[in-house]
Chain A
Amino acid sequence: MNNVMSWIKDIQFFTYVNIILSSITTTFILSIASFILATIVALLLSFIEVFGPRPLVKAVEWYVKIVRGIPLILALFIFYYGLPRFGFPLPPLYSAIIGITLVDSAYQEQLFKGAIEGVSEKQIEAAYAIGLTKWKAFRHVILPQAFRIAIPGWINEFSIVLKDSSIAYAIGVTEIFTQAVHVAQVIADYLKPLLLVSLIYLCICYPLSYISNRFHRRLIEMGMIGS
């Protein structure tokens, strides 16, 4: 602890903090871009899985099974080291975005599918009973409720992507974790920069998990999910 305190008093400290924080934009671009792309892919896939014809449903099921079996770092390596062999060299950041999108889309697909199926059968019956067509029941009852049911998990999923984006270090993307390691190598001390970078992750993830929990409790209060 004394050690850490003395580091904070060190003038160099702020330089290092600055170096690490200077890359936070990259972390955000990487995590937000892959997260949003994964959401778009996952929404399409989940609609297909819930409403699509059987062969397509099977295809989505296999996509999810296979992709969930790929370690994230492997996906990143495939797009960074693998693609150039086919004549598609990509900069590290793009490779990372595609890799994370691929893997996260499978997890988000499960989340959205669960949310759509999580809309109570009673709600759907009531929708049909007032004379809504299948499509209108989906549009006005199932979708709005599934959307709300998915929110807490969706926010949590972003926390996971944000932290997973640190794996981009392995293919040389300069995001905050990479910078922390660089600083550590320069000052020959790993603990302090790594503690600092974990504090940054925590400062982002803690409020997110708080918001997620609030949404979750609201859903229980509204009777949309069981407690």
Chain B
Amino acid sequence: MESNILVVENLWKFYGREVILKNINFTVKRGETKVIIGPSGAGKSTLLRCINLLVRPDRGRIILDGDVITERRDVHNIRSQIGFVFQHFNLFNHLTAIDNVLLGLIKVKKLPREEAMRRAKEALLSVGITEELWRKYPAQLSGGQQQRVAIARAIAMDPKIILFDEPTSALDPELIWEVLNVMEKLSRNGMTMIVVTHELGFAIKVAHEVMFMDGGTIIERGPPNQILLNPKGERIKRFMDRMWYLYSLNRSSKVA
């Protein structure tokens, strides 16, 4: 078994004449958690959306588990192997929590109802959504609960990788913890994940590698301690100083 589950090669994306992604190259190993940080407009979300083909890249290749997915036409089959967790949860509003998880299992994986039910319950319990919440609609759940159901919806599909697009940015501060906790557990259990986030604590504690993106490219990458605490480039230094300031921490004495 090859150790790289995801390879992104020379990836470009344009909107009109504007370059959104330019020449992105990286690999993700099985069981690895990769964190992407960077200012807004850096192309982080577009990169994630390219990987599960919600956005078609204009140039370059994406290889998932040996399969060149940018050349495949049956995109829905590819997407069913890739979990995606959205910033605004995007739970199906007309379905209860458990039906949100069941939809993909029954309609995409075509599992028999009992088997789907078993897996949905297992997934919901693993993110701490207990039975009394299963029949509730998304609007009746807190943001943290909604996001955990969304994570359950992704993991129930038994994906090869899960992409998180700022999963805690739309949450109240006291709800962020419960979502990060679930994600940390996932990572420890060997799930392969790419996480776009501004949660530096999570990045330091959980990430195997951190990539800093700006202007559509990866500017710097490395182990979390190096990128978050001792960055080399000027741009990333400035960015990190501001990020640490938000955390009310003095990374060094030169916080602006």
Contacts and interface: CB of A to CB of B under 8 A. Distances in A.
Contacts of A126: 84, 86, 90-92
A12 B84 CA distance: 73
Given A140-B103, A223-B139, A130 B153 contact: yes
Interface stretch (A26-34, A71-79, A106-114, A141-149): A141-149
Contacts of A224: 93-94
Contacts of A144: 94
Contact of B90 (A125, A140, A148, A222): A125
Contact of A131 (B76, B92, B138): B76
Contact of B84 (A123, A129, A140, A221): A129
Interface residues of B, number: 27
A224 B90 CA distance: 11
A129 B79 contact: yes
B54 A145 contact: no
Contacts of B54: 125, 128-129
Interface string A17-49: 000000000000000000000000000000000
Contacts of A155: none
A132 to B, nearest CB: 6
Contacts of B138: 222-223
B93 A223 contact: yes
A136 interface: yes
B108 interface: yes
B108 A131 contact: yes
B94 A130 contact: no
B94 A129 contact: no
Contact of B137 (A123, A130, A132, A222): A222
- Report the interface size class on chain A: 20 to 34
Contacts of B107: 132, 136, 140
A122 interface: yes
A18 to B, nearest CB: 46
Contacts of B77: 131
Nearest to B49: A125
B108 A222 contact: no
Interface string B36-80: 000000000000000010100000000000000000000011111
A208 interface: no
B90 A130 contact: no
Nearest to B91: A126
Interface in B71-114: 76-82, 84, 86, 88, 90-94, 103-104, 107-108
A122 B52 CA distance: 15
Interface string B147-161: 000000110010000
A131 B104 contact: yes
A130 B139 contact: no
A123 B76 CA distance: 16
B94 A127 contact: no
Nearest to B85: A129
Contacts of B104: 130-132
A126 B104 CA distance: 11
A185 interface: no
B91 A129 contact: no
Given A140-B103, A145-B93, A131 B86 contact: no
B79 A123 contact: no
Interface of B: 52, 54, 76-82, 84, 86, 88, 90-94, 103-104, 107-108, 137-139, 153-154, 157
> Which 5 residue pairs are nearest across A and B when measured between Cβ atoms?
A131-B80, A126-B90, A130-B104, A129-B84, A131-B108
11 contacts: A122-B88, A123-B90, A128-B54, A131-B77, A131-B78, A131-B157, A132-B103, A140-B103, A148-B94, A223-B93, A224-B93
